[in-house]
A and B are shown apart, each in its own frame.
Chain A
């Protein structure tokens, strides 16, 4: 019996060692789902691109099914030898804070949140800058002088989007009215397209003719409702222009795919930097999506204005207020 135990132990140890040596990167897809056409899908696409570019390479992937699984999933991923472990979304912050110290040999990457641990890379995006640009476009495209915003869960990150959007809209047209609604206060708000659609119809009936959705899976319902009513919509995170050609003004892309790709690549070369990484307009972390689906809707004037603002923001000449810096917004009240 004891020899058996030793033998099994040895086998297990060697298996662990082998796993650690291979050190595949791991990706934990967050609530909202892998194919949310938005945030998570962007991360998934980044991982897929990395696999294509490094043929033969492989990575571990799981998808959260509920809030309660965060810690368990993170630990299991680390136990299986994944390095780095990439987690998506601000909601992982407090969990990672506790898990990371228990795995000093493993590197973690968190998107959308800062976790101050020696083995964690925190990637934050300057969503307010990208939202500012689409806000300008919305105000210039609007004929009614009213534009609107549908957020997912009411959290500071989403208010950051809304605040940047409102600032951009007011910069392009000081008289513009901005209506903002949040879908809910629980994680279920990321996945309620019916309510998203109803909020959109309500905003359109109040005069809005451009709707910006920053709401994960809920956004699908927002864009659909805007297309049904014949108004314009703006997508988020992934390039969503293809969803309703003719009704999609643009998308505020947040290159989560690049973040995941870069993290995987850096880790494979053993050069993953821990600490805070900021992805903003200057390094194309955020931006405005232009393609064949929206080129007819975007005027030269809009492009010129956006380019000018973009250059001003990158040079530091124009500063867009970040809601999360002081939990207030000069252009919008919530």
Chain B
């Protein structure tokens, strides 16, 4: 493996990590506020469908993006209604959302387009096209750094850069603003926040809404950035991998970036090599693909530090009886 191979693998990992990163940060907001969300998968899927469908109908990828975010927000609000207002079980509501999205997308797609649960192929303005970062051309000649910048970092669609910028933004919002402090407090001890006169229900709804926006971006990127149409169940478990990444990252934004890039890298490696030859023994492809899950289990078992979830996570807040 030479340097050029490495650059190409990094390029591929950034692309593969982006949908995970959006979903992982979405889960971060929601779970930091004490609302567990295993419905990430369903929200990615519904957003992928609506962004592809609206982009196909209007020819504009931006309208598609808006539609994707809106649909994901609606699902977030359903989750909020069930688990915050009606104090239902958050896991069950999440599972319901996943099932609803899996069935609904195919049904509507069949009704609108009659192509067996797909949307038509998108082209031109109905897709996100790659953008070149400034000076990419000029810097490509510089040894070492040049190819890294020009080939791996530059030339992705705009949502990839939005995703990377969301990480510092998330960190700033959660750790440097009053809103973030309250949001984190609501996930640890909602009673105390309530005593201080802050509306717990409103804060949790805000967190769930942000989660909806980020899942919407993830789904939209999948259908209009990476692929060029919606296909049945195209999220293919990315919502669950994002949850694994969230635990792996111990509910921290910068760690989340690291975890998603690592998971993306593992996928990129397994895509490229059918088996990895380490002179003494060979690592099969399937093992590399399974590594994210194995690492998460190791972290959960407490071998490498401890992953402590927000203390009030999963419990609906009851003001008084």
B117–A199 CB distance below 8 A: no
* Number of A-B residue pairs with CB-CB distance less than 8 Å in the complex they form: 68
A193–B116 CB distance below 8 A: no
A195–B115 CB distance below 8 A: no
Segment with Cβ contacts to A, from B8-16, B32-40, B158-166, B209-217 = B8-16
Q: Tell me the bound Cα distance from A191 to B222 in angstroms.
A: 14
B233–A202 CB distance below 8 A: no
A35–B118 CB distance below 8 A: yes
Interface hits, A258-317 → B, CB 8 Å: none
A191–B229 CB distance below 8 A: no
B228 within 8 A of A: yes
CB distance from A211 to the nearest CB of B (A): 14
A112 within 8 A of B: no
B226 within 8 A of A: yes
A18 within 8 A of B: no
A181–B229 CB distance below 8 A: no
Residues of B within 8 A of A198 (CB): 12, 15-16, 226, 267-268, 271
B116's contact among A36, A182, A188, by CB below 8 Å, is which?
A: A36
A202's contact among B232, B236, B268, by CB below 8 Å, is which?
A: B268
A33 within 8 A of B: yes
Output the nearest chain B residue to A35 by Cβ-Cβ distance.
B116
CB distance from A27 to the nearest CB of B (A): 14
A35–B236 CB distance below 8 A: no
B227's contact among A35, A201, A205, A224, by CB below 8 Å, is which?
A: A224
Q: Contacts A220-B231, A224-B228 hold; do A194 and B236 have CB atoms under 8 A apart?
A: yes
Output the nearest chain A residue to B8 by Cβ-Cβ distance.
A205
Residues of A within 8 A of B272 (CB): 202, 206
Residues of A within 8 A of B222 (CB): 194
Interface residue total, chain B, C-beta cutoff 8 A: 26
B249-262 vs A, Cβ < 8 Å mask (1 yes, 0 no): 00000000000000
CB distance from B35 to the nearest CB of A (A): 28
Residues of A within 8 A of B234 (CB): 191-194
Q: Contacts A181-B271, A193-B234 hold; do A243 and B227 have CB atoms under 8 A apart?
A: no
B58 within 8 A of A: no
Chain A: number of interface residues, binned into ranges: 20 to 34
Interface hits, A179-221 → B, CB 8 Å: 180-182, 185, 188, 191-195, 197-199, 201-202, 205-206, 217, 220-221
Q: Tell me the bound Cα distance from A205 to B15 in angstroms.
A: 14
Interface hits, A211-250 → B, CB 8 Å: 217, 220-221, 224, 228, 243
Q: Contacts A202-B268, A243-B121 hold; do A191 and B12 have CB atoms under 8 A apart?
A: no
CB distance from A8 to the nearest CB of B (A): 35
Best-buried of B115, B118, B229, B231 by chain A (most CB within 10 Å) = B231
A103 within 8 A of B: no
Q: Tell me the bound Cα distance from A36 to B205 in angstroms.
A: 40
B12–A201 CB distance below 8 A: yes
B274 within 8 A of A: yes
CB distance from A28 to the nearest CB of B (A): 15
Given contacts A33-B117, A194-B234, A198-B15, 17 further A-B contacts (CB under 8 A): A33-B116, A34-B116, A35-B115, A182-B274, A188-B236, A193-B227, A193-B231, A194-B226, A194-B227, A194-B236, A195-B236, A198-B267, A217-B232, A220-B231, A224-B227, A224-B228, A228-B228
21 A-B interface contacts by CB (under 8 A): A34-B116, A35-B115, A35-B116, A35-B117, A192-B234, A193-B229, A193-B231, A193-B234, A194-B226, A194-B227, A194-B236, A197-B226, A198-B226, A198-B268, A201-B12, A205-B12, A206-B272, A217-B232, A220-B121, A220-B231, A221-B227
